[in-house]
Amino acid sequence: AKLYIARLFRIFVSVVFLAAAGSKLIDPSPTTKALVMIGVSSNLAFLFVFVLLFVELVIGASLLVVSRQEIASIAAIWIFGLFTFYLCYLLTLKSPPQCGCGDLLTMFADAKNNAIFGICRNLLLAIGLFASLKVQDSTSRNIGEFYPESTRN
């Protein structure tokens, strides 16, 4: 049951990453605008948005591929960490812009509330992915104990 829940959670996180990428693909301007408003040049912001879009697509798709789930989960945890630092930075600004997350974090009219929600969401998703890695790791060890030949390459 734990392994099933861990797999479902990774699918959910995959959907979050694919939706974020899709949002940037449809309209990259909110993310670009958010970066420009914190001092990033418009050309660099535009480039960064498309690199981020690509990274989100790769992580989202990789979370669905069984052989790549561990690497994708670790990458996703890092992305959540980096984005959480960005949201924390936004909280330090007197009047921060919306985070540029498309529709994923625009639940509140106030950008600070959206940033707080995003921080909480990212931490929960990262903790969930870390737990899913632990479940996967313990399940792999248990299978190896009973079927040692299954752990050989």
153 three-state secondary structure: coil
Question: Is residue 143 predicted with pLDDT exceeding 90?
Answer: no
> Going by C-beta distance under 8 Å and a sequence separation of 6 or more, which residues neighbour residue 124?
none
Question: Is residue 108 predicted with pLDDT exceeding 60?
Answer: yes
Cβ–Cβ < 8 Å for 49, 57 = no
Kindly report the average pLDDT of the chain as a whole number. Answer: 84
Stretch 76-82: mean pLDDT? 95
